Copies of this chain bind each other. A is one copy, B any other.
């Protein structure tokens, strides 16, 4: 159930590989791993996007992510989970968020992973500011709904 807010780029697949090979990982009991990775696109609302800056509320962000992580672990009986989220300046293709959950069964893994992403997108205090390819900048006003 670790959560991390990261100031610099991360490789989601490398992080998952490292995380799963920890000696204390619940190896033999895992039957299902569900992962979501959100990546910065080079377009939004029909405009080209050149860069993005992600702001957050230090303390509240981590506290909120830890709370939903613990809630998902309890609600779906997860064996483990991991949430990583970038802040700072991002370039197109940079990973923004990783949510991974480990479970004995797939139904729980799928549902918990999606629920965590929706909770994160609707309430975790992060804000995106886009720099467009024409040089102008704008705040992203709201996230699309995921269900």
Contacts and interface: CB of A to CB of B under 8 A. Distances in A.
Task: State the majority secondary structure of interface residues on A.
Answer: mixed
A33 interface: yes
Nearest to A25: B93
Contacts of A104: 41
A33 B98 CA distance: 10
Given A33-B37, A105-B144, A146-B107, A42 B28 contact: yes
Nearest to A19: B13
Contacts of A114: 110
B43 A39 contact: no
Interface string A24-67: 00011111111111111111000000000000000000000000
A17 B28 contact: no
A106 B106 CA distance: 19
Contact of A147 (B27, B32, B43, B107): B107
A85 to B, nearest CB: 14
Closest 3 CB pairs of A and B: A28-B42, A13-B13, A35-B35
Given A13-B16, A36-B110, A107-B146, 14 more contacts: A13-B13, A13-B17, A29-B41, A29-B43, A31-B41, A32-B36, A32-B37, A33-B39, A34-B35, A34-B113, A36-B106, A36-B109, A106-B117, A110-B117
5 contacts: A13-B14, A27-B92, A30-B93, A34-B35, A106-B121
